[in-house]
Amino acid sequence: MNACVISVRGVVQGVGFRPFVFRLAQEHTLAGWVLNAGEGVQIHLEGAESSLATFVHDLEDAPPPAAVITAIDITPAAPVGIHDFTIRESRPSEAPTARIAADLPVCDDCLRELFDPGDRRYHYPYINCTNCGPRYSVVLRLPYDRPNTTMNKWPLDAYCAAGYGDPANRRFHAQPVACPNCGPGYSLHTEAGRVDGSDASISRAAELLCAGRIVAVKGLGGYHLACDALNAPAVSRLRERKYRKEKPFALMVSDIARAREVVELTPASERLLTSPARPVVLARARHELPGVAPDNDELGVMLPYTPLHHLLFDAGAPDVLVMTSANRSSEPMAYEDEDANARLTGIADAFLVGARPIARRVDDSVVREGAHGPVVLRRARGYTPAVVATLPIERPVLAVGADLKNAITLVVGGQAVVSQHIGDLEHYDAMRAFDETIRDLTSMYRIRWDDVLIVHDAHPGYLSTAKSRELPAPELLAVQHHRAHVASVLAERAALNTRVIGVSFDGTGYGDDGTIWGGEFFAGSVSAGFDRVAHLRPAALVGGDAAARHPAQAAAGFLVQVEGLPDLTAAPFHFPARYRQTLDLAAGGVRTFTTSSMGRLFDAAAALLGFTRAITFEGQAAMWLEQLARRASSADRYPFPFADAELDFRPLLHAVASDRRRGRREDEIARGFHGAVARAVCDAASTLCQQHQVDVVVLSGGVFQNQLLSTDVESLLSARGLGVWANHVVPPNDGGISLGQAALAVFV
């Protein structure tokens, strides 16, 4: 007889790993035990040497579908004479490092039972098993056991307990398991009264949705506001009540066939849509849905991912639903019942409320197909809290991100865990969510503050920077915004020592010289640091952040440098009075800052082509410009020269304004603008690669959410034989900043 101890790390808790090990040990006639430990799963085995070897092979070769094994350590041990194999109680750890599983969509087996009238869990909205269901949204602390989840107040009845304890059962040690007899259910709340019972409440909710009403639906990671997406008056009412003027709504469709009817799905985007993360996928709309996505030819579509969603559609709910985060514009998603009732009364006509508490707010993730793989625009449900990188540091690191699209990163035992999307910290409730997320992750991993390195943005006025100073950590480190963007890509790829040219384009970031950067080129690596080697020609930014809300105001700061412009207050431009006032302020240097922001250059181009009103959500003018460019069948080659380490926007904007004045089609001008930026990036990056003897270009920053620009740039650079790396695991926008901050902190 031989014996060994096996430690398995990765996503191995909450994914049916211990039951899998139990069955595998029995199959190979091995004795011993398995338990959840602080670092993952620990196994003690005793048996024949050949059986042990086969066990290890099968462990690596065919783990449970939702498991991700990152390391297996095998240590010889002395046999102690164990005669059977058991699942032992979990062993708490003072400093756990086990990876927490992301929430999983309901599996096909559970769906079959859900709609089988002869099954005990027929129509049960909380049906789940070891292969599916809630994980991150219900776990309260590690290790992942039922007492440490929000299911802890529902004891198992005899039926569920039998399945939970049966190694041959799909629910063997499935922590959130329940049935209608012993588990939570749903109820519907309206002004007219309360409907109890899951079946009755779901059926009534479906009737209300068909009647054009707005229903607040408690889901996996929070509440959604739902209405019939094909009912234009209902969609309009939702916009009015939610104070969401133009930002697109997400849709949930009943099945993949309906998704294909609503949007154009490529094989790659269909794989994203049906992946275990079940994200919202952006794809080109097949037809317009009035009010859903104004001025946008794309729709964000997702499939049902909880039993409740499937039951709603089965009960007759419209097969295309608006399913948007339950909040007023820009606030975080409501996830607690009392808060939802307070914030959503007046928006929702009814509340479909589940009794199971949600441990933490987890929004829907948003992704799209990119030129060289998926691009994550909002990273949350289905992806969080997976480890996204391994960094060479044992000390805990907390990177607090930026103020827009905030997400934080916690590094534990060298494993970088990026939080779910939190939001824009200028809003009070988002700031509360920021505090909650820091407390949540640090307490989950039992972080000792006396050893934490906190990393924040270099902007001295950021709210996240101010908050970092309040935390009880001994050391703080500031990291420049745009370097963090570039570092996030290299951290994803485990290429911390690779020398690259980094292109970091966004709207706003605090520069080394105190000016506002946003059109930057860097040379270097994460381990050796990044030198700023080129940038967009500086322009005036009048009124600071106000310029980001008014494209005409942003345009004035660029156009004041361009000679020979036509009168922009006359046809076809019709710039508002704000433009002339801004020019006067820029000329006098009043309330004026210096910026190299590529995001503001896109706003300037949008204003020249007709978007002169105030934006109602971040990036709206640039999105409008991209949509306009997509309609063009041809485009001129506009000049955008690179010389003396600067991209000179003046010839480009002069050409755009002149063509508009001559009556050239706006879509062709927009396409020409995109092409000019792409060629300029390629020219600059190629020149810098030669100067610094590197052959990889990194693209990051919110501007590279523009699919048209990204595709053009990557195509041009690849044609010149250069490697092109971009974000695929974390967003290229500020949602990925914290990962870059953490990576750069390792080498300071």
CA torsion sign for 265, 270, 273, 277 is negative
Task: Give me the pLDDT at residue 329, please.
Answer: 73
Task: Give me the pLDDT at residue 1, please.
Answer: 67
Closest alpha carbon to 226 in 353, 363, 320? 320
Task: Give me the pLDDT at residue 405, please.
Answer: 95
- What is the token pair recorded at 164? 């939970």
Residues 6 or more apart whose CB falls under 8 angstroms from that of 604 comprise 551, 554, 555, 557, 558, 559, 653
Q: Are 171 and 129 in contact (CB under 8 A)?
A: yes
- What is the token pair recorded at 507? 């709207």
Task: Give me the pLDDT at residue 513, please.
Answer: 96
For 186-354, CATH gives 3.90.870.40
Q: Are 142 and 38 in contact (CB under 8 A)?
A: yes
pLDDT tens digits, one per residue of 75-117: 999 999 999 999 888 877 667 777 788 999 999 999 999 999 9
- What is the token pair recorded at 608? 């020249």
Cross-strand partners of 170: none
Which of 63-78 are b and which e, b meaning 16 or more Cβ less than 10 Å from the residue's Cβ?
bbebbbbeebeeeeee
Task: Give me the pLDDT at residue 125, please.
Answer: 98
**Dist. CA 96–CA 115, nearest whole Å:** 39
Averaged pLDDT, groups of 10, the chain, 748 residues long: 91 86 94 90 95 94 87 93 89 73 95 98 97 94 89 97 90 93 97 95 98 98 98 97 94 98 97 96 96 95 98 98 89 92 95 97 95 92 92 96 97 94 91 93 91 96 95 96 98 98 97 97 98 97 88 94 91 90 83 94 97 94 97 92 98 97 96 98 98 98 97 96 97 98 96
Q: Are 331 and 197 in contact (CB under 8 A)?
A: no
Q: Are 608 and 657 in contact (CB under 8 A)?
A: yes
Which of 378-414 are b and which e, b meaning 16 or more Cβ less than 10 Å from the residue's Cβ?
bbbbbbbbbbbbbbebeebbbbbbbbbbbbbbbbbbb
Closest alpha carbon to 635 in 652, 647, 619, 650? 652
3-class state of residue 348 by DSSP? strand
Give the β-pairing of 2-11 and 40-47. Answer: antiparallel
Task: Give me the pLDDT at residue 666, please.
Answer: 96
**Dist. CA 224–CA 11, nearest whole Å:** 28
**Dist. CA 192–CA 381, nearest whole Å:** 34
Which of 130-142 are b and which e, b meaning 16 or more Cβ less than 10 Å from the residue's Cβ?
bbbbbbbbbbbbb
CATH architecture of structural domain 2-87: 2-Layer Sandwich (3.30)
- What is the token pair recorded at 504? 């970091």
**Dist. CA 293–CA 291, nearest whole Å:** 6
- What is the token pair recorded at 628? 């306009």
Q: In the chain, what are the domain boundaries? A: 2-87, 186-354
**Dist. CA 304–CA 328, nearest whole Å:** 23
**Dist. CA 743–CA 608, nearest whole Å:** 40
**Dist. CA 220–CA 308, nearest whole Å:** 9
Which of 426-443 are b and which e, b meaning 16 or more Cβ less than 10 Å from the residue's Cβ?
ebebbbebbeebbebbbe
The DSSP-derived string for 663-725 is T--HHHHHHHHHHHHHHHHHHHHHHHHHHHT--EEEEESGGGG-HHHHHHHHHHHHHTT-EEE
Place of tokens 């063997």: 172
Tell me the H-state helices in 212-266. Answer: 232-242, 256-262
**Dist. CA 373–CA 715, nearest whole Å:** 14
Q: Are 246 and 347 in contact (CB under 8 A)?
A: no
User: Global pTM?
Assistant: 0.93
Q: What are phi and psi of 91, to 5 degrees?
A: -110, 110
Residues counted in the chain: 748
What is the amino acid identity at position 694? V
**Dist. CA 495–CA 491, nearest whole Å:** 6
